[in-house]
C-alpha cells in the first residue's frame, strides 16, 4: 500500500511527519491520511513524493502495490479535444512516428525551439513596455 511505502521511507530517511510534509509543501495531517490509507496524494504531490524518494512515478506506483489512482479528475471534453489536436500536430511535425514511438532527436529540437520562443516572447514583452513608456514621455513633450 502507498501509505506503507511513504511511512517506511519517511522513517528510514529520518523525517518527522511535519518535516516530510514541509518537504512536499503539504500539511502534516495530509501525510498522516496517506500513511493510514484514508486518502491519496494528488497526482502532482505523488510526483513530488517519487522525486524525493529518488524514484520515477512508475516505480513508486509499482512499489506501492496500490491499484487505485491518485486523485486525478477526468479530463473535460475540451481537454480531450486539445490533446487530440496536440497529438495530431506532433505526428505532423514528425515528433511522434506512425508506429507511436517518439523521435527523440526531433523532440529535443522542439524543446530547444520552445525555449528560444519563450525567451523572445519575454524579450518582446519587456521591449513593448519600454516602447510604451517612451511613447508616453514623447506625447507629454509634444503637448507642451
Q: How many domains does the chain have?
A: 2
Beta bridge partners of 96: 102
- 36's grid cell: 493510514
> 84 and 58 in one domain?
no
Per-residue pLDDT tens digits for 26-35: 999 999 999 9
Answer whether residue 109 is part of any domain. yes
What tens digit of pLDDT does each residue of 79-120 get?
Answer: 888 878 877 787 787 777 777 777 778 777 777 777 888 887
Residue 84 resides in a domain: yes
pLDDT for res 134: 46
Instruction: Please tell me whether residues 10 and 49 are part of one structural domain.
Output: yes
Evaluate whether residue 31 is within a structural domain.
Answer: yes
Which whole-number Å values give the CA distances from 91 to 50, 81, 101, in the listed order? 30, 15, 10
Query: What pLDDT is attached to residue 86?
Result: 79
Residue range(s) defining the domain that contains residue 83: 77-143
* Whether 87 and 60 share a structural domain: no
Q: Which of 64, 85, 103 is the last residue of a domain?
A: 64
Residue 82, domain member (yes or no): yes
Look up the pTM and report it: 0.47
Q: Are residue 55 and residue 84 in the same domain, yes or no?
A: no
Q: Does a structural domain hold residue 70?
A: no
CATH number, domain containing residue 23: 1.10.260.40
Amino acid 137: pLDDT: 46
Nearest by Cα to 25 from 2, 1, 5, 52 = 52
The domain boundary, picked from 33, 64, 95, lies at 64
Please tell me the distance from the alpha carbon of residue 35 to that of residue 32, in angstroms, as a whole number.
5
Average pLDDT of 56-62? 84
Whether residue 132 sits in one domain with residue 101: yes
Q: Is residue 71 part of a domain?
A: no
135 occurs within a structural domain: yes
How far apart CA 80 and CA 83 sit, in angstroms, is 5
- Asked if the model's pLDDT at residue 131 lies above 50, the reply is no
Amino acid at each position: 500500500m502507498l501509505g506503507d511505502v511513504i511511512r517506511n521511507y519517511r522513517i528510514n530517511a529520518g523525517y518527522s511527519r511535519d518535516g516530510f510534509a514541509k518537504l512536499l509543501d503539504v500539511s502534516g495531517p495530509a501525510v498522516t491520511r496517506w500513511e493510514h490509507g484514508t486518502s491519496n496524494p494528488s497526482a502532482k504531490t505523488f510526483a513530488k513524493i517519487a522525486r524525493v524518494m529518488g524514484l520515477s512515478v512508475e516505480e513508486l506506483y509499482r512499489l506501492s502495490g496500490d491499484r487505485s489512482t491518485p486523485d486525478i479528475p477526468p479530463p473535460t471534453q475540451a481537454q480531450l479535444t486539445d490533446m487530440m489536436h496536440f497529438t495530431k500536430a506532433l505526428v505532423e511535425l514528425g515528433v511522434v512516428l506512425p508506429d507511436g514511438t517518439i523521435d527523440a532527436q526531433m523532440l529535443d529540437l522542439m524543446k530547444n525551439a520552445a525555449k528560444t520562443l519563450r525567451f523572445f516572447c519575454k524579450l518582446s514583452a519587456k521591449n513593448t513596455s519600454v516602447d510604451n513608456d517612451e511613447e508616453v514621455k514623447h506625447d507629454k513633450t509634444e503637448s507642451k
